[in-house]
Homo-oligomer: A and B are copies of this chain.
């Protein structure tokens, strides 16, 4: 059996140190659940001592339903002026009540003397004392040796002394950190080997990407004997980011033959990467290794024809092993295999797959993207199969946003729809045009379809997508996440106009809910019912 390597994900802590990365407490909970489903062993949730948002996350974390991963709280060794019992940061770690705690300490004399302004021996005492105190109070204690490689380069004896001090405290794992991210793979391999000869505790590795070498450094440490790997999804993190788990994991598993998440879980690699990038609202680099849209995209004619004959000629791995797919640029945007896999996944039967494929290609070319919008995809397939009946007809809408003097602006939407034979004309206000439109649409439909009352907007994301091949005006893609008490679902709308794009996503969201609930569309031909009068009460929904 192959050697097992533990994966410790720090997307929610170190990843959120990255510029432009900000997770709300809700975001953190959703990411944690996704990471658990992906199969990582540890999820570092934040630094409970440092800010109220992380405190709130750890409170919520107890309700998360995790099947495999353990949540870890991150913090520092105690302050030199305080005992562990009186250090608020140490106590905050314990109060988070996680099964795992990770604390970092100083390995580099430069930091001890210049940053902390301590005597070298004081630092050793602090490390040993903090590790011992916490290791006795938590099932699993990890010690992060900050700046270990820089410290070892400048004073190997002192750097090793800090690890010995930690080891005496009884941690489950000691992690060598390349905090400044400037180390080279040969150095990381050599130093890891030398440490292994001196320290009996299992070793981990934590790399940053300042030399564009974080993945290589991580592999070098594992090859040298480290058994625990820290990193983040998509390599998010301070400065140039952390070691990218989306590259580290498949390299360890597929290239080096370690037992990491296993082949079943590896199929979720691309989906996990996209999920986290969507939540972070950062576009995923299309060139990203393994998971990027271009990772298996062939442009050169020579490559394309060779790949057609034998994929191994220009592909280093089979794209499907990491949930990705081959793309041939210019022609084939959506592969048939992908479509079939997706349909299977959604339990949809395709009787005319070519037609679905063609329509999907057309929509993708127009800027649609269904990864975070499965409800829209399901509706699309249903429409193409002729299995979908529309629930209403739009006659028109108008939204007015008004700002007068020092007053807060108000958004008001009027919507005119036809349901069966009835024309319904309603108005509603909102915190913004999309919220007003959502309120107004649901008010118009609610008397016909009462279950819409329980529906709400959960999230709303907008992205400007520069034009594909057409070279015309820029487009806006709106992703909406809606929910009721049973589920949450995502829909997408694309248009040059943000309000129109939002409208399309809203309509999909409403239709998806009604279809899923098994509601029968109201037919035409009935008597007209008097219209519900407009209401202008302010609503609590999002936009």
Residue A162 at the chain B interface, CB threshold 8 Å: no
The reply to whether B309 and A114 form a contact with Cβ atoms under 8 Å apart is yes
**In the complex, A468→B215 CA distance in Å?**
30
Residue A299 at the chain B interface, CB threshold 8 Å: yes
Using A17-B299, A459-B466 as known contacts, say yes or no to A499 and B396 having CB atoms under 8 A apart: no
Please tell me which one of the listed residues B251, B460, B499 contacts residue A433 in the complex, with CB atoms under 8 A apart.
B499
Using A288-B240, A496-B432 as known contacts, say yes or no to A295 and B111 having CB atoms under 8 A apart: no
Residue A171 at the chain B interface, CB threshold 8 Å: no
Cβ proximity bits A391-406 to B, threshold 8 Å, 1 near / 0 not: 0001111111111110
Closest to A499 in B: B401
- Chain B residues lying within 8 Å of A474, measured Cβ to Cβ, are 431, 542-543
The reply to whether B24 and A369 form a contact with Cβ atoms under 8 Å apart is no
Interface centre among A110, A215, A499 (most CB of B within 10 A): A499
Interface centre among A184, A256, A290 (most CB of B within 10 A): A184
Using A211-B316, A463-B281 as known contacts, say yes or no to A303 and B238 having CB atoms under 8 A apart: yes
The reply to whether B402 and A401 form a contact with Cβ atoms under 8 Å apart is no
Residue A522 at the chain B interface, CB threshold 8 Å: no
Cβ proximity bits A441-477 to B, threshold 8 Å, 1 near / 0 not: 0000000000000000001111111111100011010
- Chain B residues lying within 8 Å of A212, measured Cβ to Cβ, are 215, 244, 247, 251, 288-290
Residue A7 at the chain B interface, CB threshold 8 Å: no
Residue A346 at the chain B interface, CB threshold 8 Å: no
Task: Give the total of A residues in contact with B, Cβ under 8 Å.
Answer: 125
Residue A372 at the chain B interface, CB threshold 8 Å: yes
Which of A49-57, A126-134, A190-198, A348-356 binds B?
A: A49-57
**In the complex, A286→B494 CA distance in Å?**
27
Which of A93-101, A175-183, A378-386 binds B?
A: A175-183
Using A309-B114, A401-B499, A432-B496 as known contacts, say yes or no to A299 and B543 having CB atoms under 8 A apart: no
- Chain B residues lying within 8 Å of A329, measured Cβ to Cβ, are 19
**In the complex, A362→B140 CA distance in Å?**
38
The reply to whether A293 and B409 form a contact with Cβ atoms under 8 Å apart is no
- Chain B residues lying within 8 Å of A219, measured Cβ to Cβ, are 184-185, 213
Interface centre among A241, A302, A401 (most CB of B within 10 A): A401
Q: How far is the CB of A183 from chain B (nearest CB, A)?
A: 8
The reply to whether B400 and A396 form a contact with Cβ atoms under 8 Å apart is no
The reply to whether A314 and B180 form a contact with Cβ atoms under 8 Å apart is yes
30 A-B interface contacts by CB (under 8 A): A18-B294, A19-B293, A19-B299, A19-B329, A24-B467, A50-B333, A56-B469, A115-B306, A115-B313, A180-B316, A184-B255, A185-B185, A211-B255, A212-B244, A212-B247, A212-B251, A216-B216, A216-B217, A398-B400, A398-B403, A399-B399, A401-B433, A401-B499, A403-B499, A431-B476, A432-B476, A432-B496, A433-B433, A461-B462, A466-B542
